[in-house]
Amino acid sequence: MVALKMPAFNLCILAGYAEQVPELHVLKNGNEFAEFSILVPGETGSYKIYATGDLVRAVVEDLKPAEAIILFGRTTTMKSSGQICLQAVRAINHGTETDLQHLDALAIVEGFNLQIPSVGYHRV
């Protein structure tokens, strides 16, 4: 019998409203990450968001509380609480004028392109 493994990257899209100004953190090795939370319409509670890489500075400088934001990234579970959080790889800030509950579904995904390598078998 062949053992199959799940992919290491699960794509998640969260659309919500920023709750606070993102906090900039610097690790001992010099890497930076931004931490903030968003409220998703229709959900109870909020989601923790972690931005890394090139996204850190853009999020810290641009995102303000109550702004609508659409995030693309990898879902994971926080070790301390077991809550689901998102490691963002892309963020689109729609400002305070956008009502996410009435946003066209295609507008949510237009800023994200999924690159699939030409090698191997892919079911999409």
Query: Tens digit of pLDDT for each residue in 1-53?
Result: 455 455 555 778 888 899 999 999 999 999 998 999 999 888 888 888 888 88
- Distance from the Cα of residue 85 to its chain's centroid: 8
CB burial class (10 A; 0-12, 13-18, 19+) of residue 114? exposed
- pLDDT of amino acid 81: 73
**Architecture label for domain 14-100:** Beta Barrel (2.40)
- What does pTM read for this prediction? 0.69
User: Which stretch of DSSP H or E encloses residue 58?
Assistant: helix 55-62
Query: Tens digit of pLDDT for each residue in 57-115?
Result: 888 999 999 998 888 888 877 777 767 777 777 777 777 877 777 666 656 556 555 55
Query: Tens digit of pLDDT for each residue in 53-64?
Result: 888 888 899 999
Nearest to 67 by CA among 17, 4, 102, 8: 17
